[in-house]
Structure 1
Amino acid sequence: MTLLLGVGGHDLGVGGGLHRPVAPMLAVAGQVPVGAWAYEFKWDGVRAIVEPSGGRTRLTSRNLRDITNSYPEIAEANGALGGLRAVLDGEIVALDERGAPSFARLQHRMHVARPSSMLVVSTPVHLYLFDLLELDGHPLIGEPYTRRRELLDQLGLSGGLVYAPPSFTADRITGADMLVAARESGLEGVVAKRLTSTYRPGQRSQDWIKTALERSAEVIVCGWKPGAGRRLGMIGSVMLGAYDEQGRLVYVGHVGTGFTEAALRELAALLEPLAIDASPLDVPAPREHSRDARWIEPVLVAEVVYRTLTPDGRLRHPSWRGLRPDKAPDGVYWHEAPR
């Protein structure tokens, strides 16, 4: 597939070439801005850089892991991506009964390197694309968002397995109305993108602002505490950490809700070979929280949702969402962590 990229024979590769591997551009958290912005819904899935070429599509996670074999239905899609030579940015999602992305459902696929045909059928995934970084060898990262989005829309990815969800500008809908629509549709929130913004691989930029309908946080699994009662012999809660601004691994709370029994069993199997004798935390956890804790190597990233923070900067009422194998622990920073 070839599109007219420029005028008078000039391509749009301003800003230099696109170097591999490509790390996705990241948003900062904040309130929905007004003015010269575009609004997109925030999708609850796994971020992926997508490179179709020669009839097969390569998928790379946010932490630059090759996840192509984990999603064979996308890798081998010959429909919308067939014949396309490009680099795109998007999200892999699994849909619930309402047609909204479900992170809980996607968990069945995230940890499987080579899923069986039965798993692919029982838990299908979709690819939602929202940015175009290169097309037919022409880099587009130096072009403004409006031009990249225009070229993405011209690809005609209107539905099915691969889909380019719509983008709305402020002259069509307000950011507040987008948040209302997201809530009514059971979506995670809204991402606003400055119309003039270029694409900055691997950078977190104020040109993209994400507004979530509930607070979520990436955390590092540092250990666990044994359960009691109905959880006797199982994990009772998980000890959580993150890196502070000095690069120290500090305790940010523990979580004991949001687990199914199956999830606890799977998690226990993952944690067992990672056991260590001493706490990995650089700043010790309070004694009342660390008593009876079993520690592990801090190599697993998880996601939790929470209501707010305690006065000392820890999570209040967190609930487990699941592990994030697509993210690396050295990128988990907690600026409000206790000192």
Structure 2
Amino acid sequence: MRPMLATPTVTIPSGDAWQHEVKWDGMRVLADVSEGALTVWSRTERDVTVAFPELGGLATEYADMLLDGEIVSMQGGTPSFAALAERFHVTDARKARQLAEQAPVTLMTFDLLRLYGVELMDRPWSDRRATLERLELDSPRWQTPPTFDDGVVLHEATKEQGLEGIVSKRVDSRYTPGVRSPFWLKSPHRGTVSVVIGGWRPESTGTVRSRLGAVLVGVPGPGGLRYLGRVGSGLAGKLGTALMRELEPLASDESPFGTEVPAVDALGATWVHPVLVADVQSLGLGGQGRLRQPAYKGLRVDLTPGDVDEQGLGE
């Protein structure tokens, strides 16, 4: 099952029909406790349990429950997506335990979909939330952050604290798996979008093609990717080196873009098969449909190109 998604908005709703939560910068998961064991599912329905051994204790809290939440890696008091990205790829249990000891993650739970075998998705959000809070999930490794009545105040507070933004939810909303719902609205500060990588350029367009300089990105559209621009910021250091290892075996003779890539961006580019999804921060789209001041945040191994859409540009 895939989680319910939020729709982007520029207007924060108000009134008794809405409640508001912090939008965490992490990895969206469903945490399923059943028969004394925990299974953690990514947005693409991939079993990522082995990558997060520090969450295993959830199975001792209650005998049966299905939680929706966000796994975050806290660095200096705020979530760091870059720090979390290293955990996505881990399939070796020993390495996962080492990473968990060095920098453990926390599961921020915000919805309860099943409890003791009773499905709750058709119940209003307010009922599900009240039941979730009664579970009193509160530990260093999992917790249920509060909700707030005033979305505007929360939006400003999260901006001051360096958090990603807020999510506003209709109190009467049912849970609709896999749907980008108008009853959940997200209001990020500097928007994070998910895009597909279609090519890359080295730092220099000369004869020496050493370090990664930029990636060319887009979203799926008719005839190929719709070009959104060149992303160079954020590729220095380990992130860029790791991404280069992923890109090299994907080289292609043909551009995957269905819209024109300007010559200045295509100069010296190596096209790749469009299979990698990355998160990019930006100030939105400019007049030519290009991302404004984009910065690379990391690969989303929990997403496929089919999960990226033009409406939300990811989640």
Flag whether TM exceeds 0.5 (same fold).
yes
TM-score range with shorter-chain normalisation?
A: over 0.9
Alignment-mate amino acid for residue 239 of structure 1: L
Name which of 45, 48, 51 aligns with 1:70: 51
Equivalent in the alignment of 1:158: 138
Equivalent in the alignment of 2:30: 49
The structure-2 alpha-carbon separation of the partners of 1:25 and 1:121, relative to structure 1 and needing over 3 Å to count, comes to same
The structure-2 alpha-carbon separation of the partners of 1:335 and 1:28, relative to structure 1 and needing over 3 Å to count, comes to closer
1:132-281 mapped onto 2 (5 Å cutoff): 132-168=112-148, 170=149, 174-228=150-204, 233-244=210-221, 246=222, 248-281=224-257
SS at match of 1:157: coil
Percent of pairs with identical residues: 39
After TM superposition, give the deviation of residue 267 of structure 1 in Å.
Answer: 1.0
After TM superposition, give the deviation of residue 336 of structure 1 in Å.
Answer: 10
Alignment-mate amino acid for residue 241 of structure 1: G
Question: CA–CA distance in 1 between the matches of 2:223 and 2:43?
Answer: 21
Equivalent in the alignment of 2:276: 300
**Aligned residues of 1:257 and 1:319 also touching (Cα < 8 A):** yes
**Aligned residues of 2:68 and 2:109 also touching (Cα < 8 A):** yes
Q: Which 10-residue stretch deviates more, 104-113 or 250-259?
A: 104-113
Q: Does 1:310 pair with 2:286? A: yes
Q: Deviations over 1:73-121 (max 9, x none)?
A: 21x2157x533301110011110122x2111211221222225132221
TM-score, reference length from structure 1: 0.86
1:30-41 mapped onto 2 (5 Å cutoff): 30=9, 31-35=11-15, 36-41=17-22
After TM superposition, give the deviation of residue 292 of structure 1 in Å.
Answer: 1.5
Name which of 70, 73, 81 aligns with 1:91: 70
**Aligned residues of 1:55 and 1:78 also touching (Cα < 8 A):** no
After TM superposition, give the deviation of residue 251 of structure 1 in Å.
Answer: 1.2
**Aligned residues of 1:108 and 1:123 also touching (Cα < 8 A):** no
After TM superposition, give the deviation of residue 223 of structure 1 in Å.
Answer: 1.1
After TM superposition, give the deviation of residue 297 of structure 1 in Å.
Answer: 0.9
**Aligned residues of 1:89 and 1:129 also touching (Cα < 8 A):** yes
- Cα RMSD, aligned residues only: 1.9
SS at match of 1:48: strand
Structure 1, unpaired ranges of 5+: 1-21
After TM superposition, give the deviation of residue 289 of structure 1 in Å.
Answer: 1.4
Question: CA–CA distance in 1 between the matches of 2:281 and 2:189?
Answer: 11
The structure-2 alpha-carbon separation of the partners of 1:198 and 1:309, relative to structure 1 and needing over 3 Å to count, comes to same
**Aligned residues of 2:38 and 2:58 also touching (Cα < 8 A):** no
SS at match of 1:147: helix
Question: CA–CA distance in 2 between the matches of 1:91 and 1:228?
Answer: 38
**What is the number of residues matched between the two proteins?**
307
Question: CA–CA distance in 2 between the matches of 1:308 and 1:145?
Answer: 30
The structure-2 alpha-carbon separation of the partners of 1:33 and 1:336, relative to structure 1 and needing over 3 Å to count, comes to closer
Q: Which 10-residue stretch deviates more, 187-196 or 301-310?
A: 301-310
The structure-2 alpha-carbon separation of the partners of 1:336 and 1:145, relative to structure 1 and needing over 3 Å to count, comes to closer
**Aligned residues of 1:109 and 1:123 also touching (Cα < 8 A):** no
SS at match of 2:169: strand
**Aligned residues of 1:188 and 1:214 also touching (Cα < 8 A):** yes
The structure-2 alpha-carbon separation of the partners of 1:175 and 1:52, relative to structure 1 and needing over 3 Å to count, comes to same
After TM superposition, give the deviation of residue 143 of structure 1 in Å.
Answer: 0.4
Equivalent in the alignment of 1:4: none
Structure 2, unpaired ranges of 5+: none
Question: CA–CA distance in 1 between the matches of 2:312 and 2:19?
Answer: 30
After TM superposition, give the deviation of residue 249 of structure 1 in Å.
Answer: 1.6
Alignment-mate amino acid for residue 110 of structure 1: F
After TM superposition, give the deviation of residue 263 of structure 1 in Å.
Answer: 1.5
Name which of 27, 35, 42 aligns with 1:61: 42
After TM superposition, give the deviation of residue 283 of structure 1 in Å.
Answer: 2.5
TM-score, reference length from structure 2: 0.92
**Aligned residues of 1:313 and 1:336 also touching (Cα < 8 A):** no
Question: CA–CA distance in 2 between the matches of 1:89 and 1:325?
Answer: 19
Q: Deviations over 1:14-69 (max 9, x none)?
A: xxxxxxxx210000011210011011100110000110123321011111111111
Question: CA–CA distance in 1 between the matches of 2:311 and 2:41?
Answer: 28
